[in-house]
C-alpha cells in the first residue's frame, strides 16, 4: 500500500487526487501500523518545519517514519516533505528534523526578489550519471522543464552527490535529490500539471 503521511497540514487531498489520476491506490493516514506496513511513502508539504515535527511527534509517527525510511521503502518528499528529511532548519532553531539527509534548511536572503519563491521555475539536471543510474524520477522529463514552487526555505545537503537537479532563484538551490530509496523535490509535483504527473508516475514505477 502506498501511504500519504497525514501530519495535519500539507496538500494531502491534492496529492491524493494526482495519484488517483495515475490509477494509483493510496491511503492518507497517521496510523503508525499502517505507515509501518507501507510499500511506499509520500510526504507532501506545506507548513512550518517546527509544527510539522511537533505533529509527527504528537501523532507518535516521527520515529516510525524515520525507521521505515531506513528499511529501504521507496520515499518521496514534496516541498516541506523534502526539508523534514534534513537535520535542522533556519525556520525553527533547535528543532531536529528526521536527520536522514545530512545538512540544513536555509532561508532565502534575497535583496531583489520576493520571498516566498512562488510560481513556475526551471529545474536543471545537474547529475546525469545519477539520473541514468537509477533511471530516475526525472526519466523522460526534459532538462529545464518548469515546475511549480511555493517556499521560503531551501535545502543545503552536505553531500553534493545527492543533488539530482537544481533551480535558480537568486541562488542556486537543490530542487531534486536522490539517496538510495529516497527521492525528494522542493516544488509541488501535484500542482505542476503534466510534467508533475510524469514525475509522480516515475516514482510509482520506481516502487
Confidence of residue 128 (pLDDT cuts 50, 70, 90): low
Tell me, what's the pLDDT at 72?
Answer: 96
Return d(Cα 84, Cα 96) in angstroms, integer.
Answer: 9
Catalytic residue at 55?
no
Q: What is the mean pLDDT of residues 105-117?
A: 93
Confidence of residue 129 (pLDDT cuts 50, 70, 90): low
The angle that helices 193-206 and 12-21 make with each other, rounded to 10 degrees, is 80
Residue 92 has pLDDT above 80, yes or no: yes
Tell me, what's the pLDDT at 103?
Answer: 97
Tell me, what's the pLDDT at 133?
Answer: 54
Confidence of residue 23 (pLDDT cuts 50, 70, 90): very high
- Containing domain of residue 148, as a range? 2-206
Across-strand partners of 114? none
Q: Please give the grid coordinates belonging to residue 207.
A: 516502487
Catalytic residue among 16, 55, 79, 91: 79
CATH number for the domain including 94?
Answer: 3.40.50.880
Tell me, what's the pLDDT at 136?
Answer: 81
Catalytic residue at 207?
no
Which residue bears the cell 539530482? 164
Q: Which H or E run contains 155? A: strand 153-157
Confidence of residue 22 (pLDDT cuts 50, 70, 90): very high
Return d(Cα 162, Cα 160) in angstroms, integer.
Answer: 5
Residue 196 has pLDDT above 90, yes or no: yes
Average pLDDT, the chain: 93
Tell me, what's the pLDDT at 45?
Answer: 83
Provide the domain count of the chain: 1
Tell me, what's the pLDDT at 135?
Answer: 58
Tell me, what's the pLDDT at 126?
Answer: 85
Tell me, what's the pLDDT at 111?
Answer: 86
Cβ burial 54-87 (10 Å sphere, 16+ → b, else e): bbbeebebbebbbebbeeebbbbbbbbbbbbbbe
pTM for this one?
0.94
DSSP at 96:
E
Residue 40 has pLDDT above 70, yes or no: yes
DSSP at 141:
P
Report how far apart, in Å, the C-alpha atoms of 13 and of each of 27, 34, 190, 199, 205 are. Answer: 10, 18, 10, 18, 21
Q: What is the mean pLDDT of residues 65-87?
A: 97
If one compares 128 and 197, the residue with the highest pLDDT of the two is 197
Cβ atoms < 10 Å from Cβ of 109: 9
Q: From its phi and psi, is residue 66 left (phi > 0), alpha (psi between -120 and 50) or beta? A: alpha
Catalytic residue at 188?
yes
Please count the helices (runs of H) and the strands (runs of E) in the chain: 7, 14
Amino acid at each position: 500500500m502506498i501511504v500519504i503521511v497525514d501530519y495535519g497540514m500539507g496538500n494531502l487531498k491534492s496529492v491524493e487526487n494526482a495519484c488517483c489520476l495515475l490509477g494509483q491506490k493510496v491511503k492518507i493516514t497517521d496510523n503508525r501500523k499502517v505507515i509501518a506496513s507501507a510499500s511506499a511513502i509520500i510526504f507532501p508539504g506545506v507548513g512550518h518545519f517546527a509544527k510539522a515535527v511537533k505533529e509527527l511527534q504528537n501523532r507518535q509517527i516521527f520515529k516510525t517514519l524515520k525507521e521505515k525510511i531506513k528499511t529501504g521503502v521507496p520515499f518521496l518528499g514534496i516541498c516541506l516533505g523534502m526539508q523534514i528529511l534534513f537535520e535542522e532548519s533556519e525556520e525553527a532553531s533547535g528543532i531536529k528534523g528526521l536527520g536522514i539527509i545530512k545538512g540544513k534548511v536555509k532561508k532565502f536572503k534575497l535583496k531583489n526578489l520576493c520571498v516566498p519563491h512562488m510560481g513556475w521555475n526551471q529545474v536543471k539536471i545537474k547529475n546525469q550519471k545519477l539520473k541514468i543510474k537509477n533511471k530516475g524520477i526525472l526519466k523522460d522529463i526534459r532538462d529545464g522543464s518548469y515546475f511549480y514552487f511555493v517556499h521560503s526555505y531551501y535545502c543545503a545537503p552536505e553531500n553534493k552527490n545527492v543533488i539530482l537537479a537544481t533551480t535558480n532563484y537568486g541562488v542556486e538551490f537543490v530542487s531534486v535529490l536522490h539517496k538510495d530509496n529516497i527521492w525528494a523535490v522542493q516544488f509541488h509535483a501535484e500542482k505542476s500539471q503534466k510534467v508533475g504527473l510524469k514525475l509522480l508516475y516515475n516514482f510509482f514505477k520506481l516502487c
